[in-house]
Amino acid sequence: MKRGPYAKTRAKRDEILEMALNVIAREGYSRTTVRELSEAMGISSTGLMHHFDSKEALLTEVLRRRDALDSVDAEGVSLLAGGRVPLVSGLPEVVRHNADVPGLVHLYTRISAEATEPSHSSHDYFRDRYERAKEAYALAVEQEQEAGRLTRAIDPKTLAVALVALVDGLQTQWMFDPELDMGGVVSSLLAALAVRSDSGGEQA
């Protein structure tokens, strides 16, 4: 098995992404520059950018790396996929975890808005990420419904779209109001959609 220049380049690229992930999570997106990242790595800015087509590509890969660390399938909500953690308890925890990395939340929110332009270098990444997230949420909703914990009054795919929108919208509001309990809001919504055990039947 060959482990020549390509392997070294890949290792250095992974090292850069890990460092960038930590610096942005700690210092914030707006306060992190390519120069600061290169200084943290002990290499030149040119040397750092040798591994990426642009700063936007670097930042997209930082988000992709966060997904890979947070989830096996890199869909951003893997705690909920495959029934590993129930939706009602898992989703609020996913959102609370995001509150621990404000720099990455800012990065995600900023670039996702810019990437709505089809020509943006991150457009495909976010389009595909949203599709995977909706699929994972829909699966989690179906599992909750089959277990009798969540109302069947709403279609799983429809609720999945709403939940993805809720999480993204809460993160935007949270950046304006850090006191906002994002996990609490999600918990309250899911509680309102839960099947009421005292009624002995499905919630309307």
Per-residue pLDDT tens over the stretch 86-95: 677 778 888 8
122 pLDDT above the threshold of 50: yes
Per-residue b/e over 122-137, b at no fewer than 16 CB within 10 Å?
Answer: bbebbeebbebbbbbb
Query: For residue 80, what pLDDT band results from cuts at 50, 70 and 90?
Result: very low
**How confident is the model over 112-120, as a mean pLDDT?**
93
Encoding tokens for residue 118? 């089809």
What domains are there in the chain, each with its CATH number?
5-193 (1.10.357.10)
111 pLDDT above the threshold of 70: yes
The per-residue pLDDT for 4 is 52
Query: For residue 170, what pLDDT band results from cuts at 50, 70 and 90?
Result: very high
Whether the model clears a pTM of 0.85, i.e. scores above it, the answer is no
